[in-house]
Amino acid sequence: MKKLASLLLALVFLALPLLTACQSAEPAETAPATAAVTAAPETDRPDDESKATGQPIVNPVRPKTGSLSEDFVRGEAAFALDLYRKFYQEVGKNALVSPLSVSVALAMAANGAKGETKTQLETLLCAGMDADTLNTQLYTYITSLANSEKATLKAADSAWYAEDVLEPDEKFLSLLDAYYAAEVRKIDRSLAKPEQPINDWVKEKTDGMIPSILPDRTIDEYTAMILVNALSFIAEWQNKGMTTWDKPFTSSDGKEKTLPFFSSTEYGYIKGENEVGFVKRYAGGTYAFLALLPNEGTKIADYIASLDGEKYLTLVNSAEERKVITVMPEFTTDSSASLVELLKVLGVTEVFDRTKADLSGVGTTKDGYRLYVSDVLHKTHIEVTKDGTKAAAATAVVMPAATSAMPVEEPPRVVLDRPFVYAIIDTATGLPIFFGCYEG
Three-state SS annotation for 308-342: CHHHHHHHHHCCEEEEEEEEEECEEEEEEEECHHH
pLDDT, average across residues 50-71:
52
Query: What pLDDT, in 10s, does the model give residues 76-134?
Result: 999 999 999 999 999 999 999 999 999 999 999 999 999 999 999 999 997 778 999 99
CATH of domain 2-20+29-40+69-234+333-386+391-397: 3.30.497.10
Cα within 13 Å of Cα(360), Cβ side: 10
Structurally, at CATH architecture level, domain 244-331+411-438 sits in Roll (2.30)
Q: Where in the chain is the domain with CATH 3.30.497.10?
A: 2-20+29-40+69-234+333-386+391-397
Q: Where in the chain is the domain with CATH 2.30.39.10?
A: 244-331+411-438
What whole-number distance in Å separates Cα of residue 324 and Cα of residue 84?
27
Question: Collapsing DSSP states into helix, strand and coil, what is residue 250?
Answer: strand
What whole-number distance in Å separates Cα of residue 263 and Cα of residue 265?
7
Least-confidence region, from 9-23, 206-220, 327-341, 368-382: 9-23
pLDDT given at position 46 = 32
Query: What pLDDT, in 10s, does the model give residues 236-289?
Result: 999 875 789 999 999 999 999 999 999 999 999 999 999 999 999 999 999 999
pLDDT greater than 90 at residue 319: yes
pLDDT greater than 90 at residue 333: no
Taking alpha carbons only, the member of 440, 436, 439, 429 closest to residue 146 is: 429
Residue that wins the pLDDT comparison between 47 and 430: 430
Distance of CA 139 to the CA centre of its chain: 15
pLDDT greater than 60 at residue 26: no
pLDDT given at position 33 = 21
Least-confidence region, from 3-12, 20-29, 373-382: 20-29
Least-confidence region, from 14-28, 152-166, 204-218, 253-267: 14-28
Residue that wins the pLDDT comparison between 51 and 238: 238
pLDDT given at position 429 = 95
pLDDT greater than 70 at residue 374: yes
Taking alpha carbons only, the member of 214, 153, 158 closest to residue 5 is: 153
pLDDT greater than 50 at residue 187: yes
Question: Collapsing DSSP states into helix, strand and coil, what is residue 217?
Answer: coil
pLDDT given at position 204 = 94
Taking alpha carbons only, the member of 303, 397, 440 closest to residue 102 is: 397
pLDDT, average across residues 303-315:
97
Geometric angle at alpha carbon 129, from 124 and 131, rounded to 5°: 90
Residue that wins the pLDDT comparison between 23 and 253: 253
| CA distance from start to end of the chain | 17
How does the average pLDDT of the chain come out, rounded? 83
pLDDT, average across residues 327-356:
93
pLDDT given at position 438 = 97
pLDDT greater than 70 at residue 24: no
The rounded percent of the chain whose pLDDT value lies above 90 is: 67
pLDDT greater than 50 at residue 36: no
- How far is the CA of 242 from the CAs of 258, 264, 290, 386, in angstroms? 19, 7, 18, 6
pTM for the whole structure: 0.84
Residue that wins the pLDDT comparison between 233 and 315: 315
